[in-house]
Amino acid sequence: ARTFQILRGLITRHLAVPARHHFGYGDPRGSRALREEVAAYLRTARGVRCHGDQVVLTSGSQQALDLIIRAALKPGDPVWIEDPCYPMARAAFEGAGMRLIGVPVDGEGLDPAAGEARAPHARAVYVTPSHQFPLGVTLTMARRLALIDWARRAGAWIIEDDYDSEYRYAGPPLTALQGIDGAGRVIYVGTFSKALFPGLRVGYAVVPEALLDAVVAVRNRSDRFPPSLLEDALADFLREGHFSAHLRRARRRARDARDALVAVLNEGGLSVAAPDQGLHLVARRPDWTEDAPLLAAARAEGFGPRALSPLHVDRPPEAGLVIGFSGFPPEELASAARRWLARIGG
């Protein structure tokens, strides 16, 4: 509630004395004020090496991904994706006619050696290194370096989706891939949807200089420019320290919800580890052979997980549930989980 009150006040401030730039067509990258604030935040919080001119503001990470695909790739290009993978990213690449190569994910994240064995000359890779979706693992430093080395040798693009990076509960996060890339091969994608709320519809891409003009051209002919009024308010939100304060409050709430959910699921006989980062976890049980019935039972109890098996690309599907724990009080989440476990005999 506090965050909404602050944003309402900031938007009202800009409506009271509207700036002249609201009445014309702006930069396809978005307002300079917000781009500079995003760049400053990413340099400090994620080790991203960038300046405001490289930032392209979008209506969420999905639009950022679409712009990158249209600017950097062409139909039929081979692209590595994590296996299992975030389904909306997979849909974006498939919809654009890419040839997808599932690269297995294990406890160390995506395996670049396996990807190179399957498609050494792929044109791009989509990866979620901070908190892999859906398995929740973190890409190790050794594999980060190996992935960057492959991209440099292959002349490929690394699309780094750094969603959920703000929600780190134990220890400092690893520096973003973009921050350790010396060859300009990483395109960094982020969003305010998870950190604030999806209805805000503001995301961003940090684009290497070699690709920037192409991405801006696609944005210009498809969407012209983002909404400037909201951008000005959001720039103030970051500049005045409200975003950092919001994240501190949000992390505490998410951690409490995580702990309550993990405790109930483990009591019910599931194999669940408390994730060090992110807003979801993966639940498994040795006797589960399919997850569709588990999903139906969960939804009947007001519990809304996602089935793990459909998220696989080429690997044999594994039964499990991907369970988010943000947006609900701990006691409400725990109660729904108990009802579901009782229904399935947990």
* CA pair distance 340, 346, nearest whole angstrom: 8
Determine phi and psi for 287, rounding to 5 degrees.
-85, 0
Number of neighbours of residue 192 by Cβ within 10 angstroms: 21
Q: Are 201 and 167 in contact (CB under 8 A)?
A: no
Residue 271 has pLDDT above 80, yes or no: no
Give tens-digit pLDDT for 70-84.
Answer: 999 999 999 999 999
Residue 316 has pLDDT above 80, yes or no: yes
* CA pair distance 26, 38, nearest whole angstrom: 18
* CA pair distance 93, 103, nearest whole angstrom: 15
How would residue 346 be classed by pLDDT, with cut points 50, 70 and 90?
A: low
Q: Which of 223, 192, 200, 293 is nearest to 70 (CA)?
A: 223
In this structure, is the dihedral angle defined by the CA atoms of residues 58, 60, 64 and 67, taken in order, positive or negative? negative
Residues 6+ apart with CB under 8 A from 60: 191, 193, 198, 201, 202, 203
* CA pair distance 181, 183, nearest whole angstrom: 6
The predicted model gives 231-236 an average pLDDT of: 94
Distances (CA, A) of 236 to 10, 12, 45, 56: 7, 12, 18, 18
* CA pair distance 250, 167, nearest whole angstrom: 8
> Percentage of the chain surpassing pLDDT 90?
71
State the alpha helices, DSSP H only, in the chain. Answer: 2-16, 32-46, 61-72, 87-95, 112-118, 141-154, 209-222, 228-239, 242-267, 292-300, 330-344
> What is the pLDDT, as a whole number, of residue 126?
98
Residue 299 has pLDDT above 90, yes or no: no
Going from the N-terminus, what domains does the chain have, and what CATH number goes with each?
19-240 (3.40.640.10), 244-344 (3.90.1150.10)
Q: Hey, which residues does 125 pair with through a beta bridge? A: 80, 158
| pTM beyond cutoff 0.85 | yes
Residue 174 has pLDDT above 80, yes or no: no
The predicted model gives 153-159 an average pLDDT of: 98
How would residue 334 be classed by pLDDT, with cut points 50, 70 and 90?
A: very high
> Percentage of the chain surpassing pLDDT 70?
99
> What is the pLDDT, as a whole number, of residue 71?
97
* CA pair distance 321, 284, nearest whole angstrom: 7
